[in-house]
Amino acid sequence: MSLATSISLVLAGSALEGFAQVFLKLAASRKSWPYVFWTGMGSILFVLEIGLYTRALKSLDISVAYPLSALSYAAVVIAARLVLGEKPDVRRWLGVALIVAGAALAIPE
């Protein structure tokens, strides 16, 4: 598997993890059957993320994959904005930018 494909799998997994976290937030705010639905959806996304990440580790050093997985923090902020309507302040967006910059430094030349 190519480096680009492995990195893409980690990035896709980070995005899935971001949405999984948002789905669990939706589950926590529900009291009836949607609680079970959103918990199930979050759990499914976590399982898919594990599959993608494990597949990427077959050809990617953990010292590259793990820092890239930190992008899930950025994915949570973006997913919370899109799904929950949260409005992150400038400071939080700066934090996201630092995480993205740090993850970019982990990519081998």
Q: Which domain holds residue 66?
A: 3-106
The pTM of this model reads: 0.86
For the cut 90, the answer to whether the pLDDT of residue 5 exceeds it is yes
Rounded Cα–Cα distance for residues 40 and 106 (Å) = 33
Domain count, the chain: 1
- Is the pLDDT confidence value at 30 over 90? no
Residue 50 predicted with pLDDT over 70? yes
Assess contact for 19 and 46: CB atoms under 8 A. Answer: no
The Cα 84–Cα 92 span in angstroms is 16
Count the neighbouring beta carbons within 10 Å of the beta carbon of residue 70: 15
Q: Yes or no: say if 74 and 88 are a contact pair by the CB < 8 Å rule.
A: no
